[in-house]
Amino acid sequence: MKKIYMDNNATTAVKPEVLEAMLPYFCEQFGNPSSVHWAGRMVGGAIEKAREQVARLFNCSAAEVIFNSCGSEGDNHAIKGTADALKHKGNHIITTSVEHPAVLETCEALEKDGFEVTYLKVDHNGMLDLAELEAAITDKTILISVMWANNETGNIFPIEEIGEIAKKHKVRFHTDAVQAAGKIAIDVRKVNVDMVVISGHKIGAPKGIGAMYLRRGTKISRFMHGGHQERNRRAGTHNVPSIVGLGAACDIALKNMDKDYAYVRHLRDKLEAGILSTISDVKLNGHPDANLRLPNTLNVSFNYIEGESLLLFFDMKGIAASSGSACTSGSLEPSHVMGAMGVDIVLAHSSTRFSLSADNTDEEIDYILQELPPIVQKLREMSPLYGR
């Protein structure tokens, strides 16, 4: 059977060149880089090379890169580390209602500890009102945390403008760039941002590795206490093979960014146009201007159909996608992102995300556009909401 993977915002395959780069570091160059002997020496250089590669993706200096274990850890560290380091200055944090749980649930945990959090609303396109953001700043505000791009809709937030607002009010600014990284430029010299979090497994590196840009001079408390790795900022023996893999993946992503953007966007636009033109009662979730969305993400609601059923039928045809339906998450509520955008509850349960990569092809899009309509029709005929 065909296997068409369109769930790259959930996780990507490791790129063969990345695995290749990692392989020597498991059984042969396995040392602990902190050690004073051949086994340690063999790997120290590898880490510093990877740090340079990651720094180039951020366009920062290597000393501003901290390796950690994943995007969730980066977000936890950035937010809790700032809250602790700046608690003498204030107790107010501004974020959005469409962040990833790694940000949202971290902020909710801080609320229990006496912090106050403003969760900015979004409009029905999933976008922020920057005047509202600026108005929310008080003299107690110690952190603004707004994601660079949203994982469900692909919406790109105006990080440059938010950075200017943060600068004007001298508030620290963190952005979760887990989805933006590798797809669009995340250049910290062009935008004013203090902390940027990325995760390996969204850009062709393995799961279980991440990195944070921490602007020079930014005071932050430790999240992981212990050894003095990463200039005392993140304890734990360096995950050498995965660090090497993350470096290689950043290198490849940077080199191919323009080419991949154009190619993936062409595929996504074709899928989007095809679905919207051949299937009735489909709603696009996210900003209608494709320039304001990641090139690879398409989120649509097939009205009257619950998302998990749709995914299961897709799966029978080899198509891997994801849904904002409650039934796929094990929770009782559908996607909080759809909820924040004011998407009707049935449409939220119907929301379906296709997230592409440069490994997808035109033929795959043609195949999906051919298989989709009968699946949608079949499920609609089963639906008590259809044709009422």
Partner 1 sequence: MYTAKVMDHFSNPRNVGEVENANGVGEVGNASCGDIMRISLQVEDDIIKDVKFKTFGCGAAIATSSMVTEMAIGKTIDEALILTNQAVAEALDGLPPAKMHCSNLAADALHEAIKDYRKQNS
Ligand X SMILES: Cc1ncc(COP(=O)(O)O)c(C=O)c1O
Question: Which residues contact ligand X (rule: CB under 6 A)?
Answer: 70-72, 75, 100, 102, 147, 151, 176, 178-179, 199, 201, 210, 236-237
Cβ(239)–Cβ(69) below 8 Å: yes
For residue 371, how many other CB atoms are within 10 A of its CB? 18
By the rule CB under 8 A, 327 interacts with partner 1: yes
Closest separation in Å from C-beta 181 to partner 1: 31
Rounded CA separation 340/333 (Å): 12
CA distance 63 to 78: 17
CA distances from residue 172 to 92, 158, 332 in whole angstroms, order as listed: 11, 16, 35
Restricting to residues 311-330, which ones interact with ligand FES according to CB under 6 A? 326-327
Q: Which is closer to a second copy, CB of 218 or CB of 221? A: 221
Look up residue 355 and give its amino acid.
S
Residue 276 near ligand FES by CB under 6 A: no
Q: How many CA atoms lie within 13 A of 177 on its CB side?
A: 28
Pick between residue 297 and residue 303 the one whose CB is nearest to ligand X.
Answer: 297
The interface with a second copy within residues 295-314 (CB under 8 A) comprises: 308, 311-312, 314
Which residue, 139, 39, 20, is CA-closest to 90? 139
Give the residue with the Cβ less far from ligand FES, 61 or 329: 329
Contact residue for a second copy among 50, 55, 73, 180 (CB under 8 A) = 73
Respond yes or no: is residue 327 known to be catalytic: yes
- Partner whose footprint covers residue 332, from partner 1, ligand FES, ligand X, none (CB < 5 to 8 Å by kind): partner 1
Give me the helices (H) in 86-180, please.
101-112, 130-136, 159-168
Out of 118, 299, 328, 355, point to the residue binding a second copy (CB under 8 A).
328
| Chain residue whose CB lies nearest ligand FES | 327
Range in contact with partner 1 (rule: CB under 8 A) among 70-78, 212-220, 229-237, 304-312: 304-312
**Residue 269 exposed, middle or buried by CB count within 10 Å (0-12, 13-18, 19+):** middle
Q: Decide whether 91 or 297 has the Cβ nearer to ligand X.
A: 297
d(CA 191, CA 156): 14
Closest distance to ligand FES from the beta carbon of 53 (Å): 30
The 3-state DSSP class for residue 149 equals: strand
Q: How many CB atoms lie within 10 A of CB 319?
A: 23
Give the range of 48-56, 97-105, 122-130, 333-341 binding a second copy by CB under 8 A: 97-105
Report the C-alpha gap between 132 and 120 in whole angstroms.
8
The item of partner 1, ligand FES, ligand X, none sharing an interface with residue 102, based on CB under 5 to 8 Å by kind, is: ligand X
The least CB distance from residue 72 to ligand X, in Å, is: 3
- In whole angstroms, give the CA distance from residue 219 to residue 134: 23
Contacting range for partner 1; rule: CB under 8 A; set: 101-109, 115-123, 143-151, 312-320: 312-320
Cα–Cα dist 221/229, whole Å: 14
Please pick, among 27, 107, 250, 327, the residue that the annotation labels catalytic.
327
Task: Establish if 155 lies at the interface with a second copy (CB under 8 A).
Answer: no
Taking the CA atoms of 44, 208, 227 and 63 in sequence, report the sign of the dihedral they define. positive
Binding site for ligand FES (CB under 6 A): 326-327
Active site residues: 327
